[in-house]
């Protein structure tokens, strides 16, 4: 429990009405969770304005409200601030005693690779004996304890609760995905990072950010706010890699496969068994596959070195790491069919996965790609993803991903716009995702490759607002098993 004035520290306040010594035992932006000891924040969201629910909070006994609109309510503690989203983040940081300052907290941002890098770092540091935390799209972890993950980056209250719990349970290092939504919505405002990593930036989330320039600038703002005591590690093979570091006060560091950089790697061998790499002139073999994983491993190595770990210990431990759930997850059936599950849901990610397959395959086998696009998301990438799939596959099955409230058949038609006439014969449209996988398996022969892209680790399919159980990994293994009999 804290008194109101301590919770409001460092927040830009326009006016205060009431008693700043009022004890508060809970922060909330959900009016349904308010009580007499709550501090309720009225947040303007994309579809809902929390200011419309102030009366609901008052009806539940709430006596302390934070707003960023001119409102007159007598008999309560009313705090008017410049921005309630920023105020919420700073208040949560204050309420939970600035937990991020007690951790080595590393934020990873970019379009692709965030989950893999954060998870590999978590696994690396666990294997090296550290008490480690993870905040990711797939799962949140406090040591070996797993907690469900609902967002890539949690809301400010959930985030600070999680970080405080990590500190209280003896965690020393935490590796955290930082999404562009989280940066833009001020979910990480007030959080103290020891370092930041930029992976790459490509076409994604333009349904939210509207323009690619805005998307870049949002990512860049994460690095702009890093302190002098932190490091900023960027992939300079990406054309926007150096832009990320233009205004940062943090120590500027680079990694690459193609450019001159502090941390550099070469791919010596690349096949379905793994990668043989040279990192800073030291050879390492890893079970991970593909150029994109070479970048991910190099970023992990760079972070470990900036945090002061022994180079030889790190390289030895890196060779023990396995692929991440739903990220180029590889299976070979008894009949010799190769299946790959990957989360690729952007044009660049899909291209990277298919290029990796193209580079490894012998050309004596066929590549079947099963792909869809999410509903209620950026429609501009749909034809582009279809075009990439057709250019780099022998057969493409367009199917349902997470259609959400859209008609999956209409999503597929949007994708078909990107299919050149010369490729029509190699495409099939099968809305039912299970049926699409069955058809691919029935057509595939020994050594053929089936890529199931888009959902990766997800264990559901969202249709008309309802999440139905659906796991690509379980589904392909189940179907392959039936065909093996």
Same domain, 228 and 89: no
| Other residues' Cβ atoms within 10 Å of the Cβ of residue 140 | 23
Beta strands in 236-303 (DSSP E): 251-256, 263-271, 274-279, 282-286
pLDDT at 212: 79
How far is it, in rounded angstroms, from Cα 481 to Cα 485? 7
Same domain, 8 and 116: no
Q: Which of 95, 112, 143 is the last residue of a domain?
A: 95
Domain CATH number, residue 10: 3.40.1390.10
pLDDT at 207: 55
Domain CATH number, residue 480: 3.90.190.20
378 three-class SS: coil
With b for 16 or more beta-carbon neighbours within 10 A and e for fewer, the 440-475 pattern comes to: bbeebeeebbbbbbbbbbbeebbbeeeeeebbbbeb
Closest CA to 108 of 218, 222, 198: 198
Same domain, 141 and 40: no
Domain CATH number, residue 268: 3.40.1190.10
- By the 8 A CB rule, do 196 and 242 touch? no
pLDDT at 138: 87
Closest CA to 428 of 391, 453, 448, 399: 399
In a domain, 323, yes or no: no
Residues 6+ away with beta carbon under 8 Å from 217? none
Same domain, 443 and 476: yes
Which ranges of 104-211 would DSSP assign to H, the alpha helix? 114-127, 156-168, 180-184, 206-209
From the first residue on, what is the mean pLDDT of each consecutive set of 10 residues in the chain (485 residues)?
Answer: 96 96 97 97 91 97 96 95 97 98 97 94 98 94 89 88 98 96 93 98 61 88 97 97 97 97 96 94 94 96 98 96 90 92 92 94 94 93 96 98 96 97 97 97 95 94 94 94 73
Which domain covers residue 426, as residue numbers?
329-484
Closest CA to 251 of 297, 308, 292: 308
How far is it, in rounded angstroms, from Cα 356 to Cα 466? 34
In a domain, 344, yes or no: yes
pLDDT at 204: 53
Same domain, 257 and 382: no
pLDDT at 485: 47
Same domain, 175 and 302: yes
Same domain, 333 and 472: yes
191 three-class SS: coil
Predicted TM-score of the model (pTM): 0.91
Closest CA to 427 of 461, 388, 398: 398
Q: Which of 318, 353, 373 is the last residue of a domain?
A: 318
Closest CA to 214 of 184, 238, 242: 184
Same domain, 306 and 335: no
When divided into structural domains, the chain yields a total of 3
pLDDT at 483: 77
Q: Which of 95, 120, 141 is the last residue of a domain?
A: 95
Same domain, 294 and 354: no
In a domain, 433, yes or no: yes
Same domain, 338 and 394: yes
In a domain, 290, yes or no: yes
In a domain, 113, yes or no: yes
How far is it, in rounded angstroms, from Cα 202 to Cα 33? 39
Same domain, 253 and 142: yes
In a domain, 324, yes or no: no
Same domain, 313 and 460: no
In a domain, 74, yes or no: yes
In a domain, 271, yes or no: yes
Please state, in angstroms and as integers, the Cα–Cα distance from residue 73 to each residue in 58, 138, 431, following that order.
10, 42, 53
What are the backbone dihedrals phi and psi of residue 475, each rounded to the nearest 5 degrees, phi first?
A: -65, -45
145 three-class SS: strand
């Amino acid at each position: 429990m804290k008194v109101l004035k301590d919770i409001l520290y460092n927040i830009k306040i326009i006016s205060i009405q009431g008693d700043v010594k009022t004890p508060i035992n809970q922060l909330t932006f959900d009016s349904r969770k308010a009580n007499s000891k709550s501090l309720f924040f009225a947040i303007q969201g994309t579809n809902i304005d929390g200011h419309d629910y102030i009366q609901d909070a008052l009806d539940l006994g709430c006596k302390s409200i934070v707003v960023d609109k001119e409102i007159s309510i007598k008999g309560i503690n009313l705090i008017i601030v410049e921005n309630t989203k920023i105020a919420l983040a700073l208040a949560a940081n204050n309420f939970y005693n600035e937990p991020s300052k007690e951790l080595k907290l590393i934020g990873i941002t970019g379009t692709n690779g965030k989950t893999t890098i954060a998870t590999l770092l978590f696994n690396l540091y666990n294997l090296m004996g550290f008490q480690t935390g993870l905040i990711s799209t797939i799962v949140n972890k406090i040591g070996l304890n797993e907690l469900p993950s609902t967002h890539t980056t949690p809301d400010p209250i959930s985030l600070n609760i999680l970080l405080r719990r990590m500190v209280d349970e003896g965690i020393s290092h935490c590796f955290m995905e930082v999404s562009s939504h989280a940066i833009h919505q001020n979910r990480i405002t007030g959080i103290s990072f020891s370092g930041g990593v930029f992976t790459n930036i490509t076409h994604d989330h333009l349904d939210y950010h509207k323009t690619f320039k805005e998307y870049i600038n949002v990512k860049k703002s994460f690095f702009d706010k890093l302190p002098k005591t932190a490091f900023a590690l960027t992939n300079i093979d990406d054309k926007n890699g150096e832009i990320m570091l233009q205004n940062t006060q943090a120590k500027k560091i680079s990694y690459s496969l193609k450019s001159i950089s502090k941390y550099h790697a070469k791919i010596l061998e690349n096949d379905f068994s793994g990668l043989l790499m040279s990192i800073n002139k030291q050879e390492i073999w890893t079970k991970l596959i593909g150029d994109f994983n070479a970048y991910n491993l190099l970023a992990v190595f760079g972070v470990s070195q900036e945090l002061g770990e022994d180079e030889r210990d790190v390289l030895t431990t890196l060779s023990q790491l396995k692929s991440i759930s739903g990220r180029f997850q590889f299976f070979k059936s008894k009949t010799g069919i190769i299946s790959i599950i990957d989360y690729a849901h952007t044009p660049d990610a899909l291209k990277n996965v298919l290029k990796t397959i193209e580079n490894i395959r012998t050309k004596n086998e066929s590549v079947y790609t099963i792909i869809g696009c999410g509903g209620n998301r950026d429609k501009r990438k749909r034809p582009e993803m279809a075009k990439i799939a057709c250019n780099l596959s022998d057969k493409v099955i367009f199917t349902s991903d997470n259609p959400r409230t859209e008609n999956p058949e209409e999503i597929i038609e949007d994708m078909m716009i990107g299919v050149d006439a010369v490729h029509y014969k190699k495409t099939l449209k099968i809305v039912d995702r299970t049926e699409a996988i069955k058809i691919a398996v029935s057509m595939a022969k020994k050594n053929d490759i089936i890529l199931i892209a888009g959902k990766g680790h997800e264990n559901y399919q969202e249709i008309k607002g309802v999440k139905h159980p659906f796991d690509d990994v379980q589904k392909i293994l189940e179907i392959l098993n039936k065909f093996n009999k």
